[in-house]
Amino acid sequence: MDYWNEVIKLALKAAKKGEVPVGAILVYKNRIIARGYNKREKSNNILGHAEIQVIKKANKCLHCWKLDDCELYVSLKPCSMCEEIIKQSRLKNVYYLLEKPTQKKEYYKTEFIKDNNYDLENEYKAIMTNFFKKMR
C-alpha cells in the first residue's frame, strides 16, 4: 500500500470539513493500524491534531502507550505540541511531506512560573523519589 496516498486522502477529508488539511497514519509491522486527520475545529479541542488522533488509536489498538515499533506518516511537519507527544510515545520514525511555511509562527502567550515554595517543593520531591524507588 502507498502510505502517502492514504495520508493525502485524509488531508483532503479534513479540508472538506473545514479543518486544516493534515492527514496522518501510524504503521506497525508494515500495516496501517491508525488513521487520522485534523478535527480541532469540529471537536473544539486543542488535542484534535491528526498526529494525536493516530497516537490515541494506536495506543488502544496495541494496548500500550509505548509505540517504539511504530512509524508515523503525516502530511505536514508536526507542531511543537505534537512533537513532544510523539517523543513521549517513543515512535521509531516520523515521515512528513511538507515543512511549515516560514512565515507561520507558533503562538505562545502562556508564561511558566516556578513557585518558590521550598517546603512544598521538598515534600513533593520526596513523593516523586519514593514513587520511582518503588518502581525499580
Which residues form the catalytic set? 51
Residue 72, CA distances (Å) to 6, 26, 37, 87, 119 in order? 12, 5, 13, 12, 43
| Helix (H/G/I), strand (E/B), else coil: 73 | strand
**Cα 85 from Cα 26, distance rounded (Å):** 14
Identify each DSSP E strand in 21-124 by its residue range: 23-28, 31-37, 70-76, 93-98
Identify each DSSP E strand in 38-111 by its residue range: 70-76, 93-98
| Helix (H/G/I), strand (E/B), else coil: 7 | helix
